[in-house]
Amino acid sequence: MRARLCSFGVRWRTHVWGVHHGLLPTYIRREMRDAMELGGTVDLVEILKAALFGLVEGITEWLPVSSTGHMLLLNEFVRLDVSRDFWDMFLVVIQLGAILAVLVLFFDRLNPFSRNKSAHERRGTWRLWGQVIVACLPAAIIGIPLDDWMEEHLGSPFVVAAALIVYGIAFIVIENARNRAVTGAHFAKRGSGGLQLSSDRDARIQSVFDMDWGTAIGIGLFQVLSIIPGTSRSGSTIIGGLLLGCSRAVAAEFTFFLAIPVMVGASGLRLVKFFLKGNTFAAQELAILGVGCVVAFVVSMLAIRFLMNFVKKHDFKPFGWYRIVLGVVVIAYFLLTR
């Protein structure tokens, strides 16, 4: 197997350059070795690009800044040398690495069979899983039929930029209202579901295990908004959680859990579409997908821990301002270059 440094036009044998001499991270070398066993060549530059996409996916999947939006924008500057079918599949399936991080970090919390839990706690865990599944139904019912149409018509940088700005403003407005402990926007009494704007300390739901079914379904409805590129799945569900009376930590945590069935289902759908078109994985494509997923997993572990610690002391306004600035930069860039 040979790795090619395209910019210099020089070829190295990967067993000399990195795979066997340890100059690459262990997880990347492992993916490249697996690809070698299938035969064919693997371009080192493409592997490094895949690692970059994994890095971006791992950071932006959990922060409310739109992972798909960032991946589409990154693709404008750093393009993988792959087919269109593979790219469409890769953009979604790379999220499986990020999902694995949630399962690892929250395994005890999500495990209904844990011997360390009482019977009451195990019932609570099963109830939480039920709420997660029910909350995912709106996205499945609406998102699956519209998947191809959204991909074809709303994948432009200007749509991504508009969504970044709109939801950035939403975060700032909502957090300003919560910080002032505004309660005049209630559509339901305290103690029941409904739109609520209150301080984080006074939020109605302080634990995911205290969440009622109406709130879970409501957050699921907000998740439907994320089918528009640039919206951010985590951003839309966190906004929904804040408006429906969850603390910041609960809104973020429930968002992580919602991602499990959504991303597994979306990845499965993309893989089925990929193979139904008669595609198969070449050695390089398998290495690219593997490296992207592994890097996304490692970075997601760090990003999730960062966000959970961040929301204990801060609000989401910094992410709102980031979205607005990025949206404006994206619009300016594409207006000037097209």
Please report, in tens digits, the pLDDT of each residue of the chain (338 residues total): 333 333 333 333 333 334 444 545 565 555 555 555 545 567 899 999 999 999 999 999 999 998 877 887 888 889 999 999 999 899 999 999 999 999 999 999 999 999 899 999 999 999 999 999 999 999 888 887 887 787 777 778 888 899 999 999 999 999 888 877 544 444 334 444 455 556 677 788 999 999 999 999 999 999 999 888 888 889 999 999 999 999 999 999 999 999 999 889 889 989 999 999 988 888 899 999 999 999 999 999 999 999 999 988 889 999 999 999 999 999 998 899 87
Q: Residue 122 and residue 13: Cα distance in Å, rounded?
A: 53
Dihedral angle, C-alpha 273, 275, 278, 279, nearest 10 °: 110
| Residue whose pair of structure tokens reads 């970075």 in the numeric block | 299
| Residue whose pair of structure tokens reads 């002032």 in the numeric block | 180
Q: Which residues pair with 233 in a beta bridge?
A: none
Checking 273-279 for CB contacts under 8 A at 24+ apart, the result is: 273/88, 273/89, 274/85, 274/86, 274/88, 274/89, 277/85, 279/83, 279/85, 279/86
In residues, how long is the chain?
338
SS3 category, 88: helix
Task: Identify which of 189, 297, 173 has the alpha carbon closest to the alpha carbon of residue 242.
Answer: 173
**How far, CA to CA in Å, does 175 sit from each of 64, 88, 236?**
14, 35, 14
Q: Residue 271 and residue 65: Cα distance in Å, rounded?
A: 25
Q: Residue 216 and residue 257: Cα distance in Å, rounded?
A: 11
Q: Which residues pair with 11 in a beta bridge?
A: 4
pTM for this entry = 0.79
Check residue 204 and report its DSSP letter. S
H or E stretch including 13?
strand 10-13
